[in-house]
Chain A
Amino acid sequence: MAAAPAVGTAAGTGRSARLGPWGAFLVRRLVGLTAVAVTLVAGTFLMVQLIPGDPARVVAGAEATPADVELVRHDLGLDQPLLVRFGTYTSGLLRGDMGTSFQTQEPVAEIIGGRLPFTAEIALLAVLVVLGLAVPIGLAAAARGSRRTDASFTFVTGTVGATPEYIIGTLLVLGFAVELGWFPAAGAETLVSMVLPVAALVLPATCVMARIVRSEATHVLAQDYMRTARGRRLPPLRLYARHALPNLLTATLTLGGLILAGLLGGTVVVESVFAWPGIGQRVVEALLVRDYPVIQGCVLILGLLAALLNLLVDLVLALLDPRTLAGKGGR
């Protein structure tokens, strides 16, 4: 990769001169975000076009007469040419119109508006908890690792990290809701309802993340600049928090950003386990009854959320490590 960055820097300096490093960074990221959004819109549109069989028949139901099916086809605009339909779809999206649910006749935008906060709530909380737990655990494991703690760290994180959210969720319900009755098994009535879904999301992700942190921390702690810092005889907290942490987070977030985005996939499953009224649970419901407009809308929003989460990670990276401003973020 020796040659490529040099070319990038040469091209980048002219731009940075006008915009400053942050301006260039933001422009680059916004262009990227737009590209992702366009891809998502095209993808969700094509997704429905690719479905084998006749959506109109599906919507009209098994007992519909051919005339009924034709009526539905016209209502849905399915008798229009592909490009016209794409135009209708995108112009609708721009006006905030995401279509109407086949099943409930509600506008999809309203459905999503009502459910988005629930998904955002547990996903963001999970991201914070994962980072808040995995970073200190991984760092401690790297700094204080002996042979025995290394082995048990590998075993515990390997086991819990490989256990899917829905199984952890099921076990949590069994233990803490059915047997002990401490937390509600389902729903989102009280704040306490959030505990189990977030725990189910967080446990495996934290383990996977802690492994990444430990391996990165082992690398960082062996760097020359850490020896320099040790040469200043700093108290341990300062040594790890001020000198190791920023470098650690750069590498960890670059790798772990994917895990954080993957938490969104986890929410889909966890919401179904706990009947959490978020987008994930709704998209699964829609999938089961082939309610295409709802699927389209939910997938689009989940995709945008993932893109925004990635952007957030990149922003934090740029704040932590000024070198990432210059390049593509070292991925």
Chain B
Amino acid sequence: MRRIRWNAPLVVSLAGLGLIVVLGIVAPFLLEEEATALSGAARAHVSAGHWLGTDVLGRDVLARTLVATRLTLEMTLAATAIAAVAGILLGTGVWVSGRRVRELGLRLIDVMISYPALILALVIATVLGTGPVASVLAIGLGGAPAFARLTANMAASVAQRDFVTQARLMGVPPYRVLVRHLLPNISGPLLVLLSVAFANVLVALSGLSFLGVGVQAPDYDWGALLNSGLQSLYTNPAEAIGPAVAITVTGVLAGFVGDGLAAALDPRGGRAKAAAVRPTAVATPSHRAPADALVTVDGLAVVLPDGTRLVDDVSFHVMPGEVVGLVGESGSGKSLTAMSVARLLPEGLSAHAAELTLDDLDLAGPEADPKRLATEIGIVFQDPSSSFNPALRMSGQLTETLRVHQGVRGADADRRAVEALEQVRITEPARVMKQYPHELSGGMRQRAMIAAALLPGPRLIVADEPTTALDVTVQAEVLDVLKDINHRRGTSVLLISHDIGVVGTVCHRAVVMYAGRVVEELSAADLRAGRARHPYTRALLAASPRLRDSGSGERAPLATIPGRPPAPAGRPRGCGFTDRCPVAIDVVCATERPRLIDDVACHAVRQEVQAG
């Protein structure tokens, strides 16, 4: 079991429950007499002698409430234990037994759980009669199916992991699988479930007594006290308040113990939602981009709430009609850069830049016209299987921008969507329109995604790893479609990829990123010819099968880049590639940040140029 991280709600609620348990132990010894003593005044109001008044026989309500704590807690614990033991055995048992038994068992639990527990308890109470023992059995057994269902859900995730499967294949008997493998791995969530079950059982048990079919006089628990309190609601309302508060407070505390435990066991810890930091010193504008560029990114930084820069001082531009590739390993900041351009950064991240514009549209400012954003930028996401809404038909999703932002009416929008689907080479587009995303193949979905991005007639398409999630054969088709659109419509494309081969074949120009910065910018022709200068780009090329094999027939073993890129918070002051760089120069590379001069940011290259 994971270590528990104590938190305030957990400590407070546990302390509160502890106090109630102590009360339950002590109260009967101290107050038994007062609780049964008949004072002359029946149903007396609140007074100094009787803080909650007296009941119909003139007994002190407060004393009775406190004394009842013991019986109530005992019954609740017993019934919770029954529900838990029966539920855990059933819920984990189905997962250690054979397939047939499991399917039948799960189905059975499902039928039982769809039946309200209280009514199940009433049935059991009918058979067993009234009284504490019958109530405990009724509520305990009535609560077992829900416990079993939740345990089965938890056990399912563990039981299907490899080590359990392996243990079973090796012939480890079910009992040992249960005790050694299943239970320890779900003990945390089980503890949460137990405290919630305790609260539910308390409420249900008190409910039975409240209805008069639980504990019978002369015994009394909180439910029974509440029952008699309800009878005198008009004469002494305080009589009902005592047991009502007792039940509620105990139940709520148990519930909060559950909440607290769940939070304490949550590996992700508390959700950190810090306020956005002020932009720290934004880079001075470099004005490298030509004035007629469609997209200008100058000095872009993407910053975490704690100030960590995931992307730092990135500058590049996209000309009208140009396809620019952003290439780099995962974690290089290429996708965050693209999402900054699309103004779609995840919550908590913020983009700051000296200039971040699409033509005259400011993409970094506090306000940007949603209509222009939606119609001028088309976005193709990485995973087509998760990027369409599974609950909506394709037609609605494809035409949404047209209808919402461009006022195109239903039939018209549908016709245009069909045309767009044809353009991305989808056969039977009319049929696809009526289908749901899950009915299409991955390649079809990605082409439909491109069609959706295309429909409003955007000036820029941002394609974030559009082929990564696809089969190799489908990748080429999707890339062809993108190239074709650029060719025929002159739409600019910002293509993000970790595959330098893809960028070399599809793009006009490539921007290579490493550890949140641009390390080199070069033309696709140079890339294809292997004329890269930055050691990182060269290493990428050496690790790419397609480009190297295209020239000569010889096949050298693929190179790999040793080491890993530094984490955003641990990037060196100088060049991020220093630790993995074969040509790093001592002192300078690790301490001094290389500036992008003549399209390459590298101290070694600079030295070479100056020397030769």
Contact = CB atoms under 8 A, between A and B. Distances in A.
Contacts of A262: 116-118
Given A232-B374, A246-B391, A170 B213 contact: no
Contacts of A111: none
A47 B123 contact: yes
A248 to B, nearest CB: 9
Q: How many of chain B's residues touch chain A, expressed as a range?
A: 35 or more
Interface string A167-182: 1001101100010000
B392 A287 contact: no
B119 A268 contact: yes
B114 A321 contact: no
Given A146-B273, A174-B240, A232-B401, A269 B118 contact: yes
A116 interface: no
Interface residues of A, number: 77
A322 interface: yes
Contact of B117 (A250, A265, A292): A265
Contacts of B210: 166, 269, 272
B251 A224 contact: no
B287 interface: no
A289 to B, nearest CB: 11
Interface in B431-478: 436, 438
A205 B560 CA distance: 58
B211 A269 contact: yes
B344 A162 contact: no
Given A163-B252, A284-B213, A228 B199 contact: no
Contact of A243 (B126, B247, B392): B392
Contacts of A192: none
Interface stretch (B175-183, B229-237, B508-516, B519-527): B229-237
B453 to A, nearest CB: 9
A202 interface: no
Nearest to A267: B116
Contacts of B114: 36, 257-258, 261, 306-307, 310
B318 to A, nearest CB: 18
Nearest to A280: B119
A162 B248 contact: yes
B220 interface: no
Contacts of A323: 390, 436, 438
Interface string A247-270: 100100000011001111110110
Contacts of B244: 167, 170-171
Given A158-B252, A159-B252, A287-B125, A225 B388 contact: yes
A228 B381 contact: yes
B213 A288 contact: yes
A201 to B, nearest CB: 12
B438 A174 contact: no
Nearest to A326: B438
Contacts of B609: none
B389 interface: yes
B391 A170 contact: no
A154 B259 contact: yes
Contact of A170 (B129, B226, B386): B226
B306 to A, nearest CB: 15
Nearest to A150: B271
Contacts of B344: 227, 230-231
A140 B386 CA distance: 24
B127 A47 contact: yes
Contacts of B233: 170, 173-174, 178, 185
A283 B86 CA distance: 27
Interface of B: 110-111, 113-119, 122-123, 125-129, 146, 156, 160, 199, 203, 206-207, 210-213, 226, 229-230, 233-234, 237, 240, 244, 247-248, 251-252, 254-256, 259, 271, 273, 342, 344, 370-371, 373-374, 379, 381, 383, 386-392, 397, 400-401, 404-405, 436, 438
5 contacts: A147-B273, A174-B240, A234-B400, A265-B116, A268-B211
Given A159-B252, A164-B207, A246-B392, 8 more contacts: A47-B127, A51-B126, A162-B252, A174-B237, A264-B119, A306-B114, A306-B115, A321-B390
